[in-house]
């Protein structure tokens, strides 16, 4: 074995070991990160109170928004604030769910990478004494083929399909609740909402179509 072949073999082994260590470190920290984010949002924004007005006061203070009306003074604002607090709670739950699914997704792909590395190691044949520089290219091509096969199998597997579907649903649900919260805030500050602007755009489109039809009728 030449010095070049020995150096390449040593570098391959070091790369596999570093990849395995980094993957394990990520998996060990990902669960802690999810829990930390969840506890921060619960303690700093929502709080442990079950009273909706108190929850909103904590949430509004963190964002620099007006606090709820005084207790015992029923108004339309109280209903709006209660809806905001409920929506914010659902939003926080969905944020935690998205983070949990993203962690599972990362763990899934890390596992696929480890499986590809194990397959390559099992198939790896040390170079013969008379091997030349072509051996390194062949080993690299073998690694690419092994990794592509492993990732293709994973992408067509049931676990990947379930994870990507759950993550997509959670992200879309988060965006929907986010839009609801934005609408509530816009109403509170007497600003036009997205739904109102969309309704106006639709009315303008319909009016333009009616004007176009009238012009065609008058021209005929």
Residue 43 has pLDDT above 90, yes or no: no
User: What is the rounded CA–CA span in Å between residue 154 and residue 112?
Assistant: 7
Instruction: Identify the band that residue 69 occupies on the pLDDT scale cut at 50, 70 and 90.
Output: low
Residues 177-190 have pLDDT tens digits of: 888 888 877 777 77
User: What is the rounded CA–CA span in Å between residue 59 and residue 51?
Assistant: 12
At residue 115, the pLDDT reads 86
User: What is the rounded CA–CA span in Å between residue 215 and residue 219?
Assistant: 6
Residue 32 has pLDDT above 70, yes or no: no
Lowest mean pLDDT among 2-6, 179-183, 195-199: 2-6
Residues 90-142 have pLDDT tens digits of: 888 888 898 888 888 888 888 888 888 888 888 877 777 776 667 778 888 88
Written as one string, the DSSP assignment of 66-134 is PPPPPTT---HHHHHHHHHHHHHHHHHHHHHHHHHHHHHHHHHHHHHHHHHHHHHHHH--PPPTT--TH
């Amino acid at each position: 074995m030449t010095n070049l072949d020995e150096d390449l073999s040593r570098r391959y082994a070091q790369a596999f070991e570093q990849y395995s260590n980094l993957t394990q470190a990520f998996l060990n920290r990902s669960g802690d990160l999810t829990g930390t984010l969840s506890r921060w949002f619960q303690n700093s924004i929502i709080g442990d109170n079950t009273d909706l007005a108190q929850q909103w006061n904590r949430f509004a203070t963190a964002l620099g928004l007006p606090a709820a009306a005084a207790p015992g003074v029923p108004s339309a604002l109280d209903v709006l604030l209660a809806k905001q607090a409920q929506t914010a709670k659902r939003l926080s739950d969905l944020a935690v769910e998205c983070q949990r699914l993203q962690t599972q997704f990362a763990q899934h792909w890390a596992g696929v990478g480890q499986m590809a590395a194990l397959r390559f190691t099992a198939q790896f044949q040390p170079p013969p004494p008379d091997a030349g520089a072509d051996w390194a290219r062949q080993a690299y091509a073998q690694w690419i083929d092994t990794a592509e096969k492993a990732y293709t199998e994973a992408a067509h597997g049931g676990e990947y399909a379930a994870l990507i579907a759950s993550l997509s649903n959670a992200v879309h649900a988060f965006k929907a609740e986010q839009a609801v919260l934005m609408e509530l805030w816009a109403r509170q500050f007497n600003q036009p909402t997205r739904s109102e602007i969309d309704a106006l755009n639709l009315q303008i489109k319909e009016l333009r179509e009616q004007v176009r039809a009238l012009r065609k009728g008058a021209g005929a």
